[in-house]
Amino acid sequence: MSILESGIKNAKNVVNYIFGKDSILQLGSLLHDLRDDRTSYAIYFIDKYFEKNPELLKNLHISDIDLVSYIDTEHEPKTNDIDLLLSKLQQAEKDSPFALIGIGGGSTLDITKAISNLLTNEGKAEDYQGWDLVKNPGIFKIGIPTLSGTGAEATRTCVMTNPKNGLKLGMNSDYTVFDQLILDSNMTATVPRDQYFYTGMDAYIHCIESLAGSYRNAIGDAFSDQTLKLCREVFQGSDMKNDQNREKLMVASYLGGCAIATSYVGVVHPFSAGLSVVLGIHHCLANCIVMSVMGEFYPKETEEFMRFADVQKIKLPRGICQNLSQDQYEKLYQSTVIHEKPLSNALGEGFKEILTPAKVVEIFKRM
C-alpha cells in the first residue's frame, strides 16, 4: 500500500506537561502563578466519581472563589449537554475564569476543551464540529487524566454527538489542545479492571489503525510504534494495573493521542461511532466490541487483541446487534459510513463499494 500525505502540515502538541506519581500536588502552584488577584477564579470540571470518592482530590486546595462542576459521564457528551453547561456558567456569571481544570477520563477532558473554546467563541457546540472552525484561542486549560487510553489529553479535538443529525464529531482545532497536562499515574489506581482494559485498548486501536492506513507520516508512525510497544508490555503481563504498568499506559495514552493527531484512524472507529450513536455504548467498550470482529481488516491485530483480553480475563458483551429493527440497522450503517476520512484512510476512496449496506449490517450482527 502506498503512503499518502496526511494533509496535516503543522502539528501542535501540548505545550507543557508534568509527569510522575503525586504530580497532581503541583496543581496549586501552577494556579497560583496564573491567578491575577483574589477575584480571579478557576473552574474545575471533575468526573462525578470523585464526588463520593474525594480521597484523590483532597490535596487540590481548591479556593473558595473557584467553581467545581461534577460531570456525569454515564453518557458520552452531546452538543446540547455542552450548550447547557455553558448556559449555566453564563447565568451564574462564571463565564470569565482565568483557567479551566479537567479531571477525569476522555469525556470530562473533552468537555473541558469544548467549554474553553465556547467561552471565547460565540455560538453553540454544533457550530464548531469539524476542522479548524474555532477562530479565537480558548481559556487556559489544564488536563488531568484519571483514565489512560483515549489520548484526549493530547489531541486537538473534543468529541461529541449531535443528536439532531446523529454525527459524532469533534472540534478539531489547534485551539482545542490543552495548555498544560498533569500526568499522575496515581489517578488511575482505582479504575475498575474492565474499564482500565477497555480504555487502554483505545490507545492500541488508534495506533494499529494509523499504521495500517494510507495517510501517514514518519513522526506519527514513531508515536504509534512506541505506543504499541508499551501497550504490549502492559497487556501481555499478568498484572496490567501494577504501579509500573499504570505509568507505562499513561505514557502510551499520551503518545497515542499525539500519533492520531498527525494521522487518521481506520475501520474500527467508524463502526464504534455507530454503536455509540445508535445504541449508546461508551466509546472504549464500543471499540473493543468492534475490534473483536475485525479479522478481515486487521487479522494479526485482532488475534493479538483477543489474546490480550484472554490474558487479562476480560469478557466482552456478545449479541448486542442481534434482532435489531431495520431502522436501527439503517442508522448503524449511516452513522458508520459518514466517517469518510478514516474509512478512506483504511480502504481507499471507494470504501462504500466494500462497505455496502448489507456488508456493514453483517459485520454488526457478528458483534
Segments forming the whole domain that contains residue 72? 16-188
Query: Residue 50 is part of a domain; what is its CATH number?
Result: 3.40.50.1970
Q: Are residues 98 and 198 in the same domain?
A: no
End-to-end CA distance of the chain: 28
Quick check: is 6 in a domain?
no
Confidence of residue 356 (pLDDT cuts 50, 70, 90): very high
The confidence score (pLDDT) of residue 282 equals 95
CA neighbours within 13 Å on the CB side: how many for 191? 28
How many whole angstroms separate alpha carbon 230 and alpha carbon 228?
5
- 104-113 pLDDT, tens per residue? 999 999 999 9
Please indicate, yes or no, whether residues 161 and 50 belong to a single structural domain of this protein: yes
Q: Which long-range contacts (CB under 8 A, 24 or more apart) does 240-247 make?
A: 240/193, 240/196, 240/197, 240/200, 240/312, 241/189, 241/191, 241/193, 241/196, 243/21, 243/185, 246/148, 246/185, 246/188, 246/189, 247/21, 247/185
Give the span between the Cα atoms of 232 and 229, in whole angstroms: 5
Domain boundary among 134, 160, 188: 188
166 or 63, higher pLDDT: 63
* Phi, psi of 239, deg, nearest 5: -130, 85
User: Is 24 found in the same domain as 142?
Assistant: yes
Q: Do 45 and 152 fall into the same domain?
A: yes
pLDDT over threshold 90, residue 81: yes
Global pTM reads 0.94
Of the two residues 261 and 39, the one the predictor is more confident about is 39
4 domain residue, yes or no: no
Q: Could you give the CA distance from residue 365 to residue 166 in angstroms, rounded to a whole number?
A: 21
Could you tell me the three cell numbers for 32? 497560583
- Is 3 within a domain? no
In a domain, residue 339? The reply is: yes
Q: What angle do CA 308, 329, 265 make, to 5 degrees?
A: 45
Domain boundary among 163, 188, 213: 188
pLDDT for the residue numbered 53: 77
Q: Are the C-beta atoms of residues 263 and 6 closer than 8 Å to each other? A: yes
Q: Do 163 and 28 share a domain, yes or no?
A: yes
Find the CATH number of the domain harbouring 294: 1.20.1090.10
Q: How far apart are CA 189 and CA 208, in angstroms?
A: 26
**317 shares its domain with 221:** yes
Average pLDDT over the chain, rounded to whole?
94
Same domain for 270 and 183?
Answer: no
Encode 342-356: b = buried (16+ Cβ within 10 Å), e = exposed.
Answer: bbbbbbeeebeeebe
pLDDT for res 5: 59
Give the distance between the most distant pair of CA atoms in the chain. 62
Give a yes or no: residue 49 inside a domain: yes
Q: How far apart are CA 150 and CA 250, in angstroms?
A: 10
Q: Which pairs from 115-123 meet CB under 8 Å and 24+ separation?
A: 115/43, 115/45, 115/82, 115/85, 115/86, 115/89, 115/139, 116/140, 116/141, 116/176, 117/158, 117/171, 117/173, 117/175, 117/176, 118/82, 118/86, 119/86, 119/89, 119/95
pLDDT at 4: 57
For residue 256, tell me if it sits in a domain: yes
Q: Does residue 181 sit in the same domain as residue 227?
A: no
5 inside domain: no
Domain count, the chain: 2
Q: Residues 202, 181: contact at Cβ < 8 Å?
A: no
Cell matching residue 153: 489529553
325 and 207 within one domain: yes
Beta carbons within 10 angstroms of residue 41's beta carbon: 16
Collapsing DSSP states into helix, strand and coil, what is residue 276?
helix
**What is the band of 3 on the pLDDT scale with cuts at 50, 70, 90?**
low
Share of the chain above pLDDT 70, in %: 97
Residues 177 and 224 grouped into a single domain? no
Question: Phi/psi class of residue 20: alpha, beta or left (left: φ > 0; alpha: ψ in -120 to 50)?
Answer: left
207 and 169 share one domain = no
Domain-located, residue 355 = yes
- In this prediction, residues 26-34 reach a mean pLDDT of 94
Of 136, 160, 188, which residue constitutes the final position of a domain? 188
Quote the cell numbers at residue 217.
507520516
Beta strands 42-47 and 67-71: pairing type? parallel
Stretch 65-81: mean pLDDT, rounded? 94
- 170 with 283, same domain: the answer is no
